[in-house]
Chains A and B, each alone.
Chain A
């Protein structure tokens, strides 16, 4: 039997060869398309770098404490990055270690289990972190410029980042491994998975509820010394993200001994974590894998009742005739509901979204705003933030909806219904929760801040329209860039299509805000006592612009997606 290291190298080699073959097999059109996506991605990253540069330059320029503020921000960004990688690895490792399509082959060939586990661990590290790393790169580039460092700084960052990512994912992988070993029964495992998510969400809400931002506002503190001591205190000193921050800070300050110490510490910790993980895997992995392949669902009697969807559909058909959704749409909706509810991975994400909404509203409630005008203005700008949250949720739930048909897509494709029906069903399924989240974010925020009637009504109507637009856009782009042969949902989210969806949805939110800016300005002019503030022609132009932007943002991807899915012939 070959050694674990040699087998691991062979297994990694197959990934490299597959990637090379995929690149070489591309048609000129695919080359052009991918080049356009890469160019768009670089353009977005450059935009982020510009924004970070402005922010860091401002912070760095603050007298006395500028340097501390800059590193404090970097530490917070890296801590967030680290936490996101941990959460991603939790979800991704469940698929890569236990349900990946190549595992049946991998456990059959005479490969040492340690090599198979290491191969899957490397895959988990990559999928958990590559997109998050791309997002943090512009911050590092901006930091390099602001601090006047050379390109070697980015090399130092890369050297520090690699062990930090290994450490972040090792925690998630170890948790998943223990969970699968401890709970071979699928139902118990599902319950524990959801409870774990609830625990993580509770910690998140609690951490936010203690209001750490109070400390970075000098006016909220009694003494200057207290403020300075906060700035100098490490952000989560036990987390590898802080060691990374310290390493970067040491490099930037020319303290090379400290840099090498932090680098060595990170690699030693990553090495120790990897060794511990491998030791754990040697005891638990194959046993857990075997457990994961077993069934064990309770047997239920054959029951064929009329589904609630069909009942609703019958009532709607009695009221609206041919305008009501078709029976096939109702059947697909029922299928979607059943499969969604039974997938525990969705539940853990819903729990975390609940926590996110709570923290969001808590943050709104604690905003230090003095005047009613300022509060109303923040309510209006809140559309942008709520739109960003909806776009992020759309990327996770709406955009992958078509791709989640997976290899069973043939069932729908060979059935007597059109692609448009499938897309309509996906829209009907995604829209109500999106509208509910949109309403919670904006309506409750407006109540908390005491928005005036005009802004309250405008923001609520706008966020409902935005929710509809982003949902239709998500389904449209999902149909335009379907990926039916992926193993986990993150591969759909992090695809080129996901990137295009995110960019376009943010642009749509931005244009929506821009279209409403002029009427909102006129409203505030009126509130501040300016006579004849309203120019109704300008208001009408804004309204038309708003409708046009949203109609185009929803309609164009929808039509293009439908055409693309009708012509779909495989990944």
Chain B
């Protein structure tokens, strides 16, 4: 489970995230939507301990990500927006490193790593250095590394960017399966269609504040039956683009 209580992050005078509170239950996929610069990636970084909160706290499976960082991180998986991986390791070696860092037994790694590489169609490239991989291939390696250590909570920051349609479809199925097995998934995305299809709950952030939250049906009722895209644009002020288009 992921729990966020009154979480705030300031950079100087700029409040990137303000008093954010939300809860992602086990088995739930929580879609976190917002325009560019709204505070989505900052929230993910706060949840992983990559940033320290100015106020409030974040808990993963009951462990505070700052006070009990190691316990929290051992239950957490992260797929960042940019799949930076060690360029001088091979794909298989990166998975091996992840397995060792998360304490996965060698026998399990020997069985699971080839399976995962096969699943993501990376077997032929497993022995090549990651510096030669495309963006999408690196994204697949990161996804495979997360699945390898079977986290109880998963943070996804634009996880489908760069993936080909087949891999994107498979990734969505994987997220659904992981949620069905009890994993709490928190996913930032710009792709509203994905949020509509696979998320159980949706939160919309603007200027660092959570301005709407609920199931898709709850949000639709609030938007008088409109599509998620219309609700999102209505809430975030995106409808003004028509005026701007005149300048095109």
A-to-B contact residues, CB < 8 Å: 27, 294-304, 306-307, 310, 327-328, 330-332, 334-335, 338-339, 342-343, 406-408, 410-418, 567, 569
Contact = CB atoms under 8 A, between A and B. Distances in A.
Given A299-B127, A304-B96, 13 more contacts: A295-B128, A297-B127, A299-B128, A302-B117, A304-B110, A306-B106, A407-B82, A408-B86, A411-B98, A415-B98, A415-B101, A417-B73, A569-B51
A416 B71 CA distance: 7
Interface residues of B, number: 46
Closest 10 pairs between A and B when the two form their complex, measured CB to CB:
A300-B127, A295-B132, A331-B100, A416-B74, A407-B84, A339-B88, A416-B73, A342-B88, A415-B101, A414-B78
A339 B89 contact: yes
Residue of B52, B100, B113, B127 with most chain A CB atoms under a 10 A cut-off:
B100
Contact of B80 (A297, A310, A410): A410
B165 interface: no
Nearest to B125: A299
Contact of A302 (B97, B101, B123): B123
Interface in B120-169: 123-129, 131-132
B233 interface: no
A334 B86 CA distance: 13
B225 interface: no
A330 B97 CA distance: 10
Residue of A300, A408, A415 with most chain B CB atoms under a 10 A cut-off:
A415
Contacts of A299: 124-125, 127-128
Contacts of A343: 88
Contacts of A327: 100, 103
Contacts of A411: 84-86, 97-98, 101
Contacts of B110: 304
Contacts of B106: 304, 306, 310
Contacts of B69: 418
Residue of A328, A338, A411 with most chain B CB atoms under a 10 A cut-off:
A411
A304 B50 contact: no
B10 to A, nearest CB: 11
Contacts of A297: 127-129, 132
B123 A416 contact: no
B111 to A, nearest CB: 9
B92 interface: yes
Contacts of B114: 302
Given A302-B117, A302-B126, A331 B97 contact: yes
B122 to A, nearest CB: 10
B100 A330 contact: yes
Contacts of B127: 297-303
Contacts of A328: 100-101, 103
Contacts of A302: 92, 113-114, 117, 123, 126-127
B109 interface: yes
A413 B117 CA distance: 24
B12 A27 contact: yes
Contacts of B88: 338-339, 342-343
B70 interface: yes
A307 B106 CA distance: 10
Nearest to B73: A416
Nearest to B94: A411
B115 to A, nearest CB: 10
A415 B73 contact: yes
B102 A415 contact: yes
Nearest to B123: A302
B7 to A, nearest CB: 15
A413 B89 contact: no
Contacts of B70: 416-418
Contacts of A569: 50-52
Nearest to A406: B84
Contact of B92 (A298, A303, A416): A303
Contact of A304 (B84, B92, B124, B129): B92
Contacts of A301: 127
B90 interface: yes
B189 interface: no
A410 B83 CA distance: 10
Contacts of A334: 97, 100
Nearest to B91: A302
11 contacts: A299-B128, A302-B92, A302-B117, A304-B92, A330-B100, A342-B129, A408-B85, A408-B86, A410-B50, A411-B101, A414-B78
A411 B158 CA distance: 17
B178 interface: no
B157 to A, nearest CB: 10
Given A299-B127, A300-B127, A327-B103, A413 B48 contact: yes
B93 interface: yes
Interface in B30-72: 48-52, 69-71
B113 to A, nearest CB: 6
B216 interface: no
A473 to B, nearest CB: 26
Nearest to A296: B132
B179 interface: no
B113 A304 contact: yes
B76 interface: yes
Contact of B49 (A307, A310, A331, A414): A414
B3 to A, nearest CB: 18
Nearest to A300: B127
